[in-house]
Amino acid sequence: MLLFDENLAARLAVYLADLYPACTHVRDQGLAGGSDRAIWQHARDHGLVIVSKDEDFQRFSVLYGAPPKVIWIRLGNCSTVDIIRLLSERRKEIDHFVADEEAALLALG
């Protein structure tokens, strides 16, 4: 379901697997070092929601719409623990976002 971008720790997929089954990291999908366009297309082709701190995905979302959906992490300089806490505490909001067929972007901070 969730595809963590390269700017986020790969271990997020392990730490959040109980809350977000089938979450994965771009590295685990063979996309390490890949372009944002390649990641966008992969997420679109596989029904994944991109989770990133990268503003480029926010721009793609505004320009192209969904799919894929984008969760934009807006915490600035933060730790992996901060991101785990954010994604855990906002689980219901994320679930509603994913289920909403018209929603394309969710900014969390």
Is pLDDT of 75 > 90?
Answer: yes
pLDDT tens for 81-106 read 999 999 999 999 999 999 999 999 99
Return the closest-CA partner of residue 4 out of 63, 68, 71, 96: 71
pLDDT tens for 35-52 read 999 999 999 999 999 999
Cis peptide preceding 67, ω within 30 of 0: yes
Q: Count CB-CB contacts under 10 A for residue 109.
A: 9
Is pLDDT of 64 > 90?
Answer: yes
* Per-residue pLDDT at 70: 98
pTM of the complete model: 0.95
Helix (H) or strand (E) holding 25: strand 24-25
Is pLDDT of 15 > 90?
Answer: yes
- Residue 40 to residue 9: CA distance in whole angstroms: 18
Is pLDDT of 25 > 90?
Answer: yes
* Per-residue pLDDT at 76: 86
